[in-house]
Structure 1
Amino acid sequence: MWKRKQRRVGNSQESGQPKPSTSFIWCEHGGCCTRLWNADKKLISGSQHFEVILRCPVARDVFKEFLQSEYSEENLMFWIACEDLKNETDPSTIAEKARKIYEDYISVSSLKEINLDSQIRNDISQSLEEPSSMMYEEAQHQIYNLMRRDSFPPGREVFLEFLRSECSENNLMFWIACEELKTETNPSTTAAKARTIYHEYLARFSQNKVSLDTQVHDRILQNLKEPSSTIYDEAQLQIYDLMRRDSFPGFLKSSVYINFLSKKSKFLDTHVNKSDFFSSDLRHKLEF
């Protein structure tokens, strides 16, 4: 059960609890939605927002309703089934549920078949011979990323559409590439991606070249000898400020943005106070 309370959340003195007039509906299921706020009473990142929605039964039901309107609820149902399987300890129950998940969501003859890489699909088929509670973990992760990217309100994608109309999408694509680089932990992969980013966005004759201060560019070039996952932090911040100053004000007035508000109003009215979600904070939008 949840309470609307005029879209306000009750006060709490505990660190990490939501403040009044938050942008998320309070639920009574263990207060799980309070995790949308960190210890500094600030909204946590967009990816964590999505994690909270999947973990909170109340918010998850509303997200499921949204997915049904988009004809893609099978992704969420698969994710939930995988979570349920992970809780099983009895071998016979695990085997039964694992095969049920396969028949419902993996089999090519299923009406609810989800979209997975062929390699992951083949690995699952082989694992069915000796099913385990974790056999769908890789597939679940892929579907999670698919929902987060395509189903959760795509503020970043809408902003990218506007930038394309302004012929300046290279700034956002560079910013996204830098964010993805930060998640890398393998040194060789980090080095390869760092050099790819340089050639695509910083090299002299690149068609997607972004505008950076000479000193920032020179420091990156020096650090490319032994690149780290944060090699582009300074450049990324500079491009972020450029988008916030030059592109974002026009975006807020654009038809692309206005149409986005209209199309997603039902979902946002249920989940989010639009004045908070569509604030003047560019970083908030880039995180979705």
Structure 2
Amino acid sequence: DFFDLIFSQERNKLYVYSANGWSVYKYNITDLAHPSLVNKLTDNSWDYFLGLGKADDKILTYGTKGIKLWNYDGQVVDSYNLTNKYPYNINFNDNSDYLFNLDNNILKIFDKKSRKFISQTFLIVNEDHNRKSFNDSILSRLYLVDDGSLKMFSLNGSLIKSFKHISNKGYDVAGAVDKNYLYFSDGKGVVKFSKEDLKPIDWAYTTDLGGKNGWAMGLKALNQDGQDRLVIFNNNSILVLDENLELISFSPATEEDKQPQENLFLALDKNRATSNSLISLHGGGYAMNEELIITFANRVYSAKTAGNGRFTTIISVPNVLPTSADI
């Protein structure tokens, strides 16, 4: 089972990279009728790959051991020591000196040059979920929407301005750096807003678009002939809106079998570790999108499975006498 995939055009050929945890597979799909495996990327540090990305001519892996940048030949050329159980929440821009990590209820800003976190700011978070920020490299501003308001930050983590939205959930901010507006999703719909003062320009409720019980979460802004096209993952469907937030098209979701697909299992990335060190715990055989409570000695953690019933999380080794312990 694969967690994530990205497409990459290299030397006039089309490739797809797919991650299944321990490895990243590179396929040549220039001829879609005859895809071929050309490389398999693994890491000697037992990194467990949770997500993929692309930055110019580099492939990004987001794993339990941090972020790694690979060249097209499968060699690690750089790395950064920051993690997130939701790789989607890490904002990586190759042209920026900073990485932005929405780690549960904390905005963490990481300086690439010093390789240190330079700022941590608390957010309003009612639910830990996928949440994408927008780094405007022209204005040197970061935009994000938490579960209370839309927020504009300077790149040192100082709050510049906020705008309270009508929902108790916040998800994604998307748009383009060369325009004076952006979009955000808050479950109930999508809002087009001014970059300067965060004031709404237009909005659309999506709860009844593409069927009933819609809930706007993931948001992607694309450009088609100079005009915006918004792709919205709306719980029960995928919507496509124009820049005036009018519906262009939609594709309804189909009911999935959420029953476990394999036998239960748990595994650690190491079998020995000192107290308070971090270890990676992963498992499977659960229902898809199942909320889990993990108890290790006297410490309690939470996790949520992906669509394949598997999960990965980072836990801390408790301060106990050397012995075996149940999880």
Q: Which band: TM-score by shorter chain?
A: under 0.3
Q: TM-score, normalised by structure 2?
A: 0.23
Bigger Rg over Cα:
1
Q: TM-score, normalised by structure 1?
A: 0.25
Looking at secondary structure, tell me which structure has more helix per residue: 1
Looking at secondary structure, tell me which structure has more strand per residue: 2
